[in-house]
Amino acid sequence: MAVVSSSGFSHADMLDEVPALRAFARRFHQNGPDAEDLVQDTLMRALANSDKFRAGTKLRSWMFTIMRNRFCTKFASSKREMVGIDDDASGRMVTQPTQEWSLRGHELEQAISKLPRNQSDALVMVLIDALSYEDAATQLGCAIGTIKSRVNRARHQLAISMGHAD
């Protein structure tokens, strides 16, 4: 017996879309395991958000949108995390002293603790926990635009507090 979500599609309907999702994922990732991870992430998101599916919408289009959004979110996160070191240079890296980073880390913690609670919560969720704006908005129970504003204000205030404001 097929399990049907409250939105009108079944898990079997979702599974029927897996070949198309795999093909679409290959447009984003040439690496097979990365493409499979994206498909799995898309399926998990679709299941978790099945209540947001609107009757009359094509399931494939809805799932493709989820996949594209997940890829864009992860791509943006990975760009922030990547240091840009090519494989050749990794063997020639020199370890820099950690004292300055430790000091700057403490300064950053203090500056974040001085932010209004709503700004610091949004900033931590988006930048440190690497949640999407949508996920942070859901957790904090507010609009995505509100999260974006809070993060922007928090970044600006941190730049001023740490002496990096233009």
Residues near 42 by beta carbon (within 8 Å), at least 6 away in sequence: 21, 25, 63, 66, 67, 70
Rg of the chain on CA atoms, in Å? 21
User: How far is the C-alpha of 53 from the C-alpha of 31, rounded, in Å?
Assistant: 30
Residue-level pLDDT at 84: 55
What's the CATH code, domain 9-82? 1.10.1740.10
Residue-level pLDDT at 52: 86
Residue-level pLDDT at 116: 92
Residues near 14 by beta carbon (within 8 Å), at least 6 away in sequence: 43, 46, 47, 59, 63
Residue-level pLDDT at 143: 95
* Tens digit of each residue's pLDDT (9 = 90 or more) over 116-137: 999 989 988 888 788 899 999 9
* Paired tokens of 99: 């004292």
* Residue matched to tokens 């093909």: 23
Q: How are the residues of the chain apportioned to helix, strand and coil, as percentages rounded to the nearest 5? A: 70, 0, 30
Q: Is 10 helix (H, G, I), strand (E, B) or coil?
A: strand
Query: CATH classification of 115-165 is 3.40.605.10, yes or no?
Result: no
Domain boundaries defined on the chain: 9-82, 115-165
9-82 and 115-165 in the same fold: no
pTM, 2 dp: 0.44
* Grouped pLDDT means (10 residues each) for the chain, 166 residues: 58 87 86 88 88 86 88 74 55 62 75 89 85 91 94 89 71
Residue-level pLDDT at 28: 82
